[in-house]
Amino acid sequence: MPRVFVALGSNLGDREAHLLQGACDICDVAGCSDLVSSSIFQTAPMGPQDQPDYLNSVCAFECGLEPHVLLGELQAIELKHGRVKNTKRWSARPLDLDILLYGTSQIASVDLTIPHIGIAQRSFVLWPLAELDSELDVPGLGGVQALMVDCERFGIQRYRTGPGESVQDAK
């Protein structure tokens, strides 16, 4: 089964609870197993600054679902957490889940791009990814450590430590 990396972000409500429960919700999806989470990081919002800071983390897990099926499951989890889809880019949200990597796959479809289209420009993605796997190679872009060098930081700071913590163990 491919190893999948998913970014979790929240800047509305109990941000930490949304991230932790979001990871647990992913763990409960049939076909997903052995989920581990990075530390939680806090960053300034990307885009409009008239919104609360984000908490972000990344989780990694084995996945037996096809990428588009997993995307549907993640969107259902976002809705469960009160996410309202709108056309305003980078708007505040209780929970945002993005598939960053799906094994070594490269996908470019109307509704899904893997590796995630902004992966190389987002410290709130690269720092947690590097924490989970410092030798990780992002297909078509290079190693995560090299990508971190030129990445804008968005005021990133560690909010809570927890590299590699199994979500199953934390339940």
Confidence (pLDDT) at 89 = 63
Q: Which CATH number goes with the domain that contains 117?
A: 3.30.70.560
Q: Which string of DSSP letters, residue by residue, matches 97-153?
A: EEEEEETT--EE-SS-EES-TTGGG-HHHHHHHHHH-TT-EETTTEEHHHHHHT---
Catalytic residue among 50, 93, 111, 153: 93
Model confidence pLDDT, tens digit, residues 96-145: 999 999 999 999 999 999 999 989 999 999 999 999 999 999 999 999 99
| Candidates 15, 25, 96, 122; catalytic one | 96
* Number of domains within the chain: 1
Q: Does residue 96 have an active-site annotation?
A: yes
Provide the pLDDT for residue 86. Answer: 63
User: What pLDDT does residue 34 have?
Assistant: 95
Q: Cα(104)–Cα(135) distance, rounded to whole angstroms? A: 14
Mark whether 83 is an active-site residue. Answer: yes
pLDDT digits (tens, 9 = 90+) for 25-56: 999 999 999 999 999 999 988 777 788 999 99
Catalytic residue among 83, 133, 150, 158: 83
Contacts of 87 (CB under 8 A, 6+ apart): none
Task: Please check the confidence at residue 170 and state whether its pLDDT lies above 50.
Answer: no
The whole domain housing 147 covers: 3-170
pLDDT for 169 beyond 50: no
Which of 67, 83, 8 is CA-nearest to residue 32?
67
Tell how far CA 157 is from the center of its chain: 16
pLDDT given at position 171? 36
C-alpha distance from residue 63 to each of 101, 107, 157 (Å): 11, 16, 30
Identify the pLDDT of residue 19.
Answer: 96
Share of the chain above pLDDT 90, in %: 74
CA 102/CA 46 separation, integer angstroms = 24
Rg of the chain over CA atoms, in angstroms? 15
Considering the entire predicted model, what is its pTM?
A: 0.90
Q: What pLDDT does 84 receive?
A: 74
CA distance 46 to 49: 7
Catalytic-labelled residue, pool 15, 25, 98, 122:
98
Three-state DSSP state, 164: coil
Alpha carbon of 114 to those of 34, 83, 104, 109: distances in Å?
A: 21, 22, 9, 9
* 50 labelled catalytic: no
Residue 98 annotated as catalytic: yes
Residue 15 sits at φ, ψ, to 5 deg, of: -55, -45
pLDDT digit string (tens) for 51-90?
899 999 999 999 999 999 999 999 999 999 987 776 566 6
